[in-house]
Structure 1
Amino acid sequence: MLVSTITLSVVLIGVLLYYLKTLKHEFLKFRKLGKLPAPPCTNVIIGNVLHLHTSPENIFKTFRQWGQKYYPIYSIRVLNVNAACILQPEDFELILSNSKNNDKSIVYRMFEEWLGTGLLTSNGRKWMTRRKILTPGFHFSTLQQFVGIFNEETEKLVEIFKMLCDQPFISINSHITQFALKSIAETAMGTKLKFNTKKEIDYKQAIFNIGEILVYRVTHGWYLLKYFNIFSPTYSTERAALKTLHSFTQEVIADREKNFSTVPTEEHDVYTSKKRLAMLDLLITAKNEERVIDDEGIREEVDTFMFEGHDTTAVALDFALMLIACHKQVQDQIYEEIKSVLGDARAKPTYSDLQEMKYLERALKEVLRLYPSVHFISRKLGDDVVTASGYELPKNTLVHLHIYDLHHNPDIYPDPERFDPDRFLPENCQNRHPFAYLPFSAGSRNSIGQRFAMLELKAAICGILAHFVLEPVDTPSTIVLVVDLILRTKDPIRVKFVPRL
């Protein structure tokens, strides 16, 4: 009891000192942000902390309620940090189309012990350099080669579902996550994962653990601050997970670097010219030939892409399978398109085949409208901004851009909870605001992997629907969405898989 009291006292004193140190700086912004609509503060010192110190599902609901009540913009305050929450497409455009606003906000600092300052978290010249190095890894000539890997991993996923399909339902999340991890590891890193060794199993578990820990820190806002996090009950688990993650990544890099000069070009066409190098090989080349990145920088980017490259795609596929199961007419139309393009629905699609599947693409776009994997992004303004509704946001203001609320705006998307792929027919998009749909962000800092993700999703759905009819168990009305690093459900999504005759 005494130890707990002392620990609490130290944390409170630390919060107070930190608060006073930055109070003057924040007060200048507060004067202008104070003119924005805002939910009532719990008290003058901690702001809205207690509104957000609750369960992840309640936090998610709270933000949705605030978005509806205070549209098109409102402010929140956590301890001494003020932020403006952005909801309308005109303001998204003002912020994201200006490269002066490219810097990520302090929200992303919680990733730095894991990801360092890689492409997700870095700012300024470092971000520009890393983006330049990595962009060729997502050239269409490289992506074409990846489709074979997507097909191979989909085939393995289908075999798992075949073994389980006699059950009333399959909880799909863990299987989809493993599929996505294996896909990103082989395509971007040139590393095959089988998850049949302790090292690989520990790595997968560490990714799960670190995700849960970071969510805990989000819902206990004072632990977002690095020096307070040492008092967190999850701190020791976090250190152990980070050690596992970094050790695994460093081993992958060392192995790839050792064999880099002897990669067999006949096996993987992605290595036949510089522009076709996969991501890890681009990084190694940049280190050896251009000297613009070091070993730690390579580790940062590998960790970043192992996280971002699997997690966002995995949850998108989870939601896609649920929605396809719930909408038989859409499922049938996707299947007919697959047969039409491939001739035999069980044939393996090529890059060109997947590009032809326009209805499947519209369905996936609608999935990502309803359930954007990255439901929220945050920036620090590099210039003063006057919003479309006339509010002044001074330079250095934190802005939280709520993509989920943007995608569920009934003025942009009538009956926004309805799943309708035809929202993305060309004639239905032509008058829509260009910043009204942002599943991959927008502007110069948009997602580098969006075409990669769409190809992987298409390939997976082709393979799954070739072998199964999906029937609903969970539906949009039964799932519970939660605040997380990306959009998730409280419980795994369940789908019934019926073998296709």
Structure 2
Amino acid sequence: MFSGELSIIWKAVFSVIVIYLVFKVVDAVRRFRKYFKFFNDLPGETDLHWIWGNLHKLPSNTEDRLKYVQSLLLKYPKFYRIWASLLKPVIQLNHPDTVKVLLKTSEPKPRGIGGAYEFAIPWLGEGLLLAGGKRWARSRRLLTPAFHFDILKPYVKIYNEAADILISKIDKYAETGESFELFSLISLCTLDVILKCAMSYTGNIQREGETHPYVQAVNELSELWFNRGRNPFLYPDFIYYNTKNGKRFAEQCDYVHSVSEDIIEKRRQTLEREGPTKKRYLDFLDILLTAQDETGVGLSQLEIRNEVDTFLFEGHDTTASAISWILYSLAQHPEYQQNVRGEVDDILNSKEGGNLEWGDLNKLDYLSRVIKEGMRLHCPVPFVQRQLTQDTELDGHLIPEGTACSIHLINLHHNPLIWSDPWEFQPDRFLPQNMTGRDSYAFVPFSAGPRNCIGQHFALNEEKILISRIIQRYELKVDPDHVVRRKTAAVMRSETGIKLTATRRH
């Protein structure tokens, strides 16, 4: 009898559990249907694959993919929703009205678990690019002094010294008339600059060959990072790191970390031996090693490495992309190239030769417009990722907290509602009279708001020196036998390289 009663009790308990689970499943399905309907009703494509969401619509060829994205921009000029998978909606922002909503807030943004930035953590760690909340705010406060004008001034000499080496390499091609691959030369030069300016590196990377393992590793890491974000099957770490690409990503992370750690350790030993006061200025790495917050706590060894990895990536790769694409556009437009050359000649003639100095940088008005237009047209950084930290209204739609957003800089900088002839290279669109009425958030190559690029003045100064030195010395032309195909990843590249010819002026 007792066993019978116990059996009834267990059946009752089991029935309650089953009913509870059914209720939870039904509730989850109901909530998911509501969630799915909300996001699917937002502007965007509704042709869905049960796993890939809308990603199956993206062509594999980069040029075709950019054309497809351009077609979406024309249909949805303010923003549109894509499904990275059926469970992962991403809001793509294409217009200043929607972009400014995310960038104007003073609250630091988290990455978001499973977001594209999350996949870069093993490489860059929680440096300024990827950190959120109090960690980001603390790092930003500690690192801001490294980019004060007094720190940046001495770097102009280093820019010019790096340009001298770069020019000596281009001279060899100018003598033979042979075309040369621009991106690899510029990447070595910008890596040379960032190592010497920010890390007081004494080696000569530009003399070590046409490329460098670190440059190759960064190129590969950024491509692997970008491609992982396009494949939902690879989101789980336990799957990704058992694939060929995942193992390669981990291997290259180990390599770039070893480079950073070697630089840090050598500087630490120098500081212990000589002290920081014997240098003319404290560079980026000095500040990392000696900075303390308001409580007297400095950065940990891992935090220092994260910032070095981040700055080496952002400081050389994105700048190399910008310079390479700007020179490519100038080679396509000899009239604009001559305008830059004339401006530089006028400045140097007025001071009886020599190189451009700190005081000359603000005189390069035309070159400044060329640089802005080059970054608008080619977008060295194609995307900026964010996650909503609160319910946010975008163009009349209340988007819930936690939603992943991508500020699509390619679309923003080519939005026909903002830019006439958006795919044409026209530096004079940045004349003051042509900018009247244009929203300040229409052009944000370094992002904007509190999380803008901390090193943007460093990058712009470097771009001015390197571009002006090259254009002053050579007449550049595109190689007519070479087809340039863009390649969108974490940084805008060319799948086929950028080949130019250079003719010495004198």
In the alignment, the residues of structure 2 paired with residue 23 and residue 124 of structure 1 have an alpha-carbon distance, to the nearest angstrom, of 33
Displacement of 1:206:
2.4
| Alignment correspondent of 2:16 | none
Equivalent residue letter for 2:104: S
Displacement of 1:235:
2.3
Q: Which of 329, 335, 345 in structure 2 is aligned with 1:329?
A: 335
| Alignment correspondent of 1:455 | 461
Matched, 1:489 2:478: no
Displacement of 1:209:
2.9
Q: Which of 124, 128, 138 in structure 1 is aligned with 2:147?
A: 138
Verify the 8 A CA contact 1:100 1:381 in the aligned structure 2: no
In the alignment, the residues of structure 2 paired with residue 41 and residue 115 of structure 1 have an alpha-carbon distance, to the nearest angstrom, of 35
| Alignment correspondent of 1:39 | 45
In the alignment, the residues of structure 2 paired with residue 352 and residue 33 of structure 1 have an alpha-carbon distance, to the nearest angstrom, of 52
Displacement of 1:197:
7.0
Query: Alpha carbons of 1:474 and 1:458: their partners in 2 closer, same or farther (altered >3 Å)?
Result: farther
Equivalent residue letter for 1:440: F
The answer to which of 58-67 and 309-318 deviates more is 58-67
Q: How does 1:61-72 map to 2 (within 5 A)?
A: 61-72=67-78
Query: Alpha carbons of 1:221 and 1:53: their partners in 2 closer, same or farther (altered >3 Å)?
Result: farther
Verify the 8 A CA contact 1:369 1:407 in the aligned structure 2: yes
| Alignment correspondent of 1:235 | 246
Per-residue deviation, residues 221-255 of structure 1 (Å, max 9, x unmatched): 43243232123222222222111111111111010
Matched, 1:208 2:214: no
| Alignment correspondent of 2:470 | 464
Matched, 1:183 2:193: yes
Equivalent residue letter for 2:438: R
Q: How does 1:208-287 map to 2 (within 5 A)?
A: 208-261=219-272, 262=274, 269=280, 271=281, 277-286=282-291
| Alignment correspondent of 1:295 | 301
In the alignment, the residues of structure 1 paired with residue 268 and residue 29 of structure 2 have an alpha-carbon distance, to the nearest angstrom, of 48
Equivalent residue letter for 2:166: L
The DSSP-based 3-state class of the residue aligned with 2:218 is helix
Q: Which of 305, 310, 318 in structure 1 is aligned with 2:316?
A: 310
Per-residue deviation, residues 248-305 of structure 1 (Å, max 9, x unmatched): 1111101001112526867x52x2xxxxx21111110126993231000000000000
CA radius of gyration, larger in: 2
Displacement of 1:135:
0.9
The answer to which of 33-42 and 439-448 deviates more is 33-42
| Alignment correspondent of 1:96 | 103
| Alignment correspondent of 2:120 | 111
Query: Alpha carbons of 1:294 and 1:187: their partners in 2 closer, same or farther (altered >3 Å)?
Result: same
In the alignment, the residues of structure 2 paired with residue 28 and residue 284 of structure 1 have an alpha-carbon distance, to the nearest angstrom, of 51
Equivalent residue letter for 1:320: I
Verify the 8 A CA contact 2:110 2:386 in the aligned structure 1: yes
Per-residue deviation, residues 151-177 of structure 1 (Å, max 9, x unmatched): 100110000000122233111111110
Displacement of 1:189:
1.2
Displacement of 1:45:
4.1
| Alignment correspondent of 1:367 | 374
| Alignment correspondent of 1:81 | 88
In the alignment, the residues of structure 2 paired with residue 284 and residue 26 of structure 1 have an alpha-carbon distance, to the nearest angstrom, of 49
Verify the 8 A CA contact 1:366 1:419 in the aligned structure 2: yes
Q: How does 1:138-157 map to 2 (within 5 A)?
A: 138-157=147-166
Structure 1: segments with no counterpart, 5+ residues: 1-21, 272-276
Q: How does 1:395-406 map to 2 (within 5 A)?
A: 395-406=401-412
Verify the 8 A CA contact 1:73 1:86 in the aligned structure 2: yes
| Alignment correspondent of 2:18 | none
The DSSP-based 3-state class of the residue aligned with 1:99 is coil
Equivalent residue letter for 2:435: C
The DSSP-based 3-state class of the residue aligned with 2:244 is coil
Per-residue deviation, residues 72-126 of structure 1 (Å, max 9, x unmatched): 2211112221111111111111111013463334210111001111111110000
Equivalent residue letter for 1:149: I
In the alignment, the residues of structure 1 paired with residue 470 and residue 428 of structure 2 have an alpha-carbon distance, to the nearest angstrom, of 22
Verify the 8 A CA contact 1:29 1:394 in the aligned structure 2: no
Query: Alpha carbons of 1:324 and 1:186: their partners in 2 closer, same or farther (altered >3 Å)?
Result: same
Verify the 8 A CA contact 1:58 1:482 in the aligned structure 2: no
Q: How many residues align?
A: 471
Displacement of 1:23:
8.5
Q: Which of 103, 120, 123 in structure 1 is aligned with 2:129?
A: 120
In the alignment, the residues of structure 1 paired with residue 376 and residue 83 of structure 2 have an alpha-carbon distance, to the nearest angstrom, of 28
Verify the 8 A CA contact 2:159 2:193 in the aligned structure 1: yes
In the alignment, the residues of structure 1 paired with residue 336 and residue 65 of structure 2 have an alpha-carbon distance, to the nearest angstrom, of 32
Verify the 8 A CA contact 2:111 2:118 in the aligned structure 1: no
TM-score by length of 2: 0.87
Structure 2: segments with no counterpart, 5+ residues: 1-27
In the alignment, the residues of structure 2 paired with residue 193 and residue 26 of structure 1 have an alpha-carbon distance, to the nearest angstrom, of 57
Per-residue deviation, residues 324-368 of structure 1 (Å, max 9, x unmatched): 111122111111111211226862111111121111111111111
In the alignment, the residues of structure 2 paired with residue 435 and residue 309 of structure 1 have an alpha-carbon distance, to the nearest angstrom, of 23
Equivalent residue letter for 1:162: D
Displacement of 1:456:
0.4
Same amino acid, percent of matched pairs: 30
In the alignment, the residues of structure 1 paired with residue 92 and residue 340 of structure 2 have an alpha-carbon distance, to the nearest angstrom, of 37
Verify the 8 A CA contact 2:108 2:137 in the aligned structure 1: no
Q: Which of 397, 402, 411 in structure 1 is aligned with 2:417?
A: 411
Verify the 8 A CA contact 1:57 1:482 in the aligned structure 2: yes
Displacement of 1:464:
0.9
Per-residue deviation, residues 436-474 of structure 1 (Å, max 9, x unmatched): 111111111011111111100000012112221112336
The DSSP-based 3-state class of the residue aligned with 1:392 is strand
